[in-house]
Amino acid sequence: MINFNIPPVTGNELQYIQKAIGNRKICGDGEFTKKCSQWMEERFKVQKVLMTTSGTSALDLAVMLCDLKEGDEVILPSFTFSSTATAPLLSQASLVFVDLDPKTMNIDPERIREAITDKTKVVIIMHYGGISCDMDKIMDIVKEHNLILIEDAAQGVMASFKGKALGTFGDFGCYSFHETKNYSMGEGGALLINNPQYNERAEILREKGTDRSKFNRGQVDKYTWVDRGDSFLPSELNTAYLFAQLEQADQINEDRKNTWNFYYSQLEDLQAKRQIELPYLPEGAQHNAHLFYIKTKDLEERSQLIQFAREQGVQLVFHYIPLHSAPAGLKYGRMSGEDQFTTVESERLVRLPMYYGMTSEDAKKTVSVIREFYENR
Ligand SMILES: *Cc1c(COP(=O)(O)O)cnc(C)c1O
């Protein structure tokens, strides 16, 4: 079976984990945690990066820093992973889902504009598949209405818009290093803070509501409980694994892009014949080949394709069930405006296997299975 994902390994992971063990420090904020956050600060030009235990906890921490109150509204896409929505729920905020742009499957900026009320405090966007949202329009809207912007850039590590890294546009950017993402530490994430006014409080909320980070830097002579908080520090064992991946980030990116470009070139004629649709790359969006999807005619055709591919040994998967119609979405949120595209487009979308080190034989096999399916239609 050709799996849709295999977690990345680049070679130095074990050596770095051994180093972390030898350091006699395996809790958070040791050598490798610092190396990972510094690497990202330099590479992505971010003034502060805090490693977290997951992409979800990076979102949780970002939303905690927004100090939302019950009744405050958060605008977010319906087509996204549940973590984009569970974070604001921790603050009792109301979820306002909006429709997407069918070309990219990203949030539609015009729908954001229409959803704004005097209760709106935060906008969370998600860069689907590492292909940037329309950041020119979105930045205009959040500035005009003085809203806090959080980027769920879980899928966007090493991707950019007009040369600027995804995750560095909003007040906060959230990365994931889950094993299904381009760079991995098993479970893990990072919070990018682009607005320095949040730096100090972010450190405190991340460290169980204490000022231990200041204490560790020698800025205070004892540490104490000063605020709300939680524990978001990943273990050194995990960050050691991640650092090996970050050192090879360009190689991983290039390898994935080769597979992505191969898929695209081999399926382009099916798009020309209007049998399927392929991902769309807006001008200025430099993507990271996080995933490759095709769109079938409809839900029925998608189910048949998945079944056909499974019989041929290729695992195709789909996501997401739109959040506004999911059980928790119905309970905690509302859709602003019409669901013109979210449901119909999500039902057509199917992901092809995509991971670091995928062999060209496996990519060829995947293509030939899809082509065979469409030849017989
Ligand atoms: C993976 C993902 C998350 C969650 O990341 P975890 O590290 O698994 O918690 C959040 N949002 C999106 C869009 C994701 O793809």
Between strands 292-295 and 48-52, the pairing is unpaired
Handedness of CA 333, 345, 339, 132 (dihedral sign): positive
* Structural contact between residues 2 and 370, judged by C-beta atoms closer than 8 angstroms: no
Whether 38 and 106 map to the same domain: the answer is yes
CA 81–ligand 1 middle distance (angstroms)? 6
Instruction: Please report whether residue 7 resides in a domain.
Output: no
Q: What tens digit of pLDDT does each residue of 157-170 get?
A: 999 999 999 999 99
Residues 300-306, mean pLDDT to the nearest whole number: 98
> Looking at residue 146, what is its pLDDT?
98
173-179 average pLDDT score: 98
Is there a single domain that holds both residue 108 and residue 75? yes
52 lines ligand 1 (CB under 6 A): no
Read off the pLDDT of residues 85-98 as tens digits, 9 standing for 90 and up: 999 999 999 999 99
Owning domain of residue 358: 249-375
Q: Are 306 and 184 contained in the same domain?
A: no
Closest alpha carbon to 172 in 81, 57, 79: 57
Question: Please, which residues bridge with residue 334 across strands?
Answer: 96
Residues classed as catalytic: 181
Domain match, 143 and 221 both: yes
Residues 295 and 227 in one domain: no
| Domain co-membership, 72 together with 123 | yes
200 & 281 share domain: no
Residue 54 near residue 34 (C-beta atoms within 8 A): no
pLDDT digit string, tens, across residues 210-242: 999 999 889 999 999 999 999 999 999 999 999
Tokens of 281: 């790359």
CA distance 257 to 356: 9
Integer Cα distance of 149 and 171 in angstroms: 5
Q: What's the first-to-final CA gap in the chain, in angstroms?
A: 24
Q: How many domains does the chain have?
A: 2
**pLDDT for the residue 376:** 79
Query: In terms of domains, do 168 and 215 share one?
Result: yes
Residue-level pLDDT at 57: 98
> Cβ neighbours of residue 282 under 8 Å, at least 6 residues apart?
103, 104, 131, 132, 134
Which region among 12-16, 212-216, 334-338 has the lowest average model confidence (pLDDT)?
212-216
Give the contacts of 94 (CB within 8 A, at least 6 positions apart). Answer: 71, 72, 73, 74, 119, 332, 333, 334
Same domain, 121 and 44: yes
pLDDT score recorded for residue 261 = 98
180 C-alpha to ligand 1 centroid (Å): 9
Question: Within this chain, do residues 218 and 300 fall inside the same structural domain, yes or no?
Answer: no
Instruction: Provide the mean pLDDT of the chain.
Output: 97
> In this model, does residue 191 exceed pLDDT 90?
yes
The C-alpha atoms of residue 109 and residue 113 are separated, in whole angstroms, by: 6
**What's the CA gap between 2 and 363, in Å, rounded?**
9
Instruction: Please provide the DSSP assignment of 208-242 as one string.
Output: TTB-HHHHHTTSSSS--B-S---B-PPPHHHHHHH
Q: Is the CB of 84 under 6 A from ligand 1?
A: yes
**Do 178 and 233 fall within a single domain?**
yes
Q: Please check whether residue 353 is in contact with residue 2, taking contact to mean a CB–CB distance below 8 angstroms.
A: yes
Name the amino acid, one letter, at 357.
Answer: G
For residue 250, give every residue at least 6 positions away whose Cβ sits within 8 Å of its Cβ, in sequence order, or none: none
Tell me the average pLDDT across 55-61. Answer: 98
Same-domain pairing of 233 and 262: no
Q: Is the CB of 81 under 6 A from ligand 1?
A: yes
Q: Is the pLDDT of residue 271 over 90?
A: yes
Residues 6 or more apart in contact with residue 280 via CB below 8 angstroms: 103, 104, 131
Q: Is the pLDDT of residue 141 over 90?
A: yes
The reply to whether 272 falls in a domain is yes
Any domain includes 4? no
Q: Among 246, 268, 301, where does a domain finish?
A: 246
| Residue 269 maps to a domain | yes
Inside any domain, residue 1: no
Q: What is the dihedral of CA 102, 107, 113, 119, to 10 degrees?
A: 140
- 54 close to ligand 1 (CB < 6 Angstrom): yes
Of 40, 64, 42, 63, nearest in space to 50 by CA: 40
Of 94, 60, 107, give the one whose Cα is nearest residue 331: 94
Q: What is the pLDDT of residue 377?
A: 83
CA atoms within a 13 Å half-sphere pointing along the CA-CB vector of 261: 8
Specify whether the CB–CB gap between 259 and 213 falls below 8 A: no
Distance between alpha carbon 114 and the CA centroid of its chain, in Å? 25
Asked if residue 279 has its Cβ within 6 Å of ligand 1, the reply is no
| Residue 186 domain flag | yes
For residue 201, the domain's CATH number is: 3.40.640.10
In a domain, 116, yes or no: yes
Q: Among 53, 76, 80, 83, which is best to mutate for testing ligand 1, by the most ligand atoms less than 8 A from CB? A: 83
Ligand 1 mean position to 175 CA, how many Å? Answer: 8
Per the DSSP assignment, residues forming a β-bridge with 165 are 160
Cis link prior to 320 (omega < 30° from 0)? yes
Tell me the C-alpha distance between 1 and 293, whole Å: 19
The pick from 86, 100, 155 for probing ligand 1's pocket by mutation, whose C-beta has the most ligand atoms within 8 angstroms, reads 155
Last residue of a domain, which of 246, 271, 288? 246
Atom of ligand 1 nearest to the CA of 128: 13
Residue carrying the six token digits 């409080």? 201
Residue 197 lies in a domain: yes
Q: Name the pTM for this structure.
A: 0.98
Q: What is the pLDDT of residues 359-372, one digit of tens each?
A: 999 999 999 999 99
End residue of a domain, out of 246, 278, 312: 246
Tell me, what CATH number does 258's domain have?
3.90.1150.10
